[in-house]
Structure 1
Amino acid sequence: MKLSNELKAFQGRLGYEFTTPAILVRAVTHSSMSSSTRDDNQRQEFLGDRVLGLVMAEALLQADVSASEGQLAPRFNALVRKETCAAVARDIGLGDVLKLGRSEMISGGRRKEALLADAMEAVIAAVYQDAGFEAARDVILRHWAARIQTVEADARDPKTALQEWAQARGQKPPAYVEVARDGPDHAPVFTIEAQLEDGHTAKAKAPSKRQAEQAAAKDLLEKVSTL
């Protein structure tokens, strides 16, 4: 099997050239394009998630030899979560080479966070299947290196931090209210307001409620921390 020019260019961005091109083709094939003669990337997604997890656990242990399990766990979660995988996928233009069915194409599948994250995990699995763990490890560390260095700042969940701030001052847990939903059904934008019992609030927009809640919590925490 020969790769398209688009997939050849993607290999360059990924930093790995496949010995068996069919493995990469499968990794970029969404289930909306699967058929009796065409496999999709769901099984690779399952495998890639585990390979990524092992590499990140190893990298974190090496990066901070004195960190406790309680310190490592939130860092690990920040590095393997869907948002991070999707961000890496965007960095290397993975969405541009995905093979999607018509329904996913129409609904903006190339930009969907969950779809990009799953495909990124599938690509990791594809490298592992093509050349083994060390090759997959090299690819992962190349694209996660900067994030590993800054993970401490990203590891603390803003909603948890805001709740701890409120409880430490005898307040009820923060409330999160959806104040607006804009855009088409296939690409909504949510506006969430984070509210504290003392009256302080902050709003944020994002393509998912979870992201908007986290962003609003982060903004509100920054606001009240300066008081």
Structure 2
Amino acid sequence: MLKAVEKEREQLLQHWRSRVSKRPDWIASEWLQVSRVLAASRGEAVPHKTLASSLRQFHDKLGFMAKGTVPKGGLCAGALFRTAAFIAVESRCGAKGAGKNVHIEHTFPVNQLERAITNRRLDGYAGALAWLLKHSVATAFYETEQKHLDGRTQSSEALTSGSTEYQKPFMRYSILHDAKGVVWNVFDREPVSPKTFTFDDHLDLVCRVLRTVGASSSMIEKLQTAGA
């Protein structure tokens, strides 16, 4: 399995390296999608469809998407987390239809991201980018693993204060874990511990990936400060 995980790691680094080569500093060179997130958090009129679309478009750029091809970030090419069943699929298809066998699962759902954004005031563009990277957790799934979500495809208590899931996005996959499913953090080459992995851990992971692929050091420092 570790050999297969290593292959997945190289794929994600290749995608993130390609993305960073085009835009080494994501703060100095702003993403339109992140600017819309910031505007929505400030109470500006950003339509629901526009905000949801912007979130998904930003995730697509990170390679958190099943559609398309690997060179364009598809087939979950940039996913930091991948289930063991996904890793075992050699010939992947993310297009809608009978042959679809892989899926990007928003571990912290997009509708929950949207709700959280509109209920808080983010601190400037760097703050918005850090918050978005911190909470944009996504996992590459084998298509049939969706059944393990048991109706929780759009729900999460990871930002619900007082919940046992608070700050721990992977606890939403309890049924998957009970069924002996494993989610791999392919960058660190280790299984995710759902009861301990937090949003803070996710931002740290993203920053380490960015550093590995040559992103601006000043950008990474600003993300770490803004996301603390």
Q: TM-score, normalised by structure 2?
A: 0.28
TM-score, structure 1 normalization: 0.28
Determine which structure has the larger helix proportion and give its number.
1
Structure (1 or 2) with the larger CA radius of gyration: 1
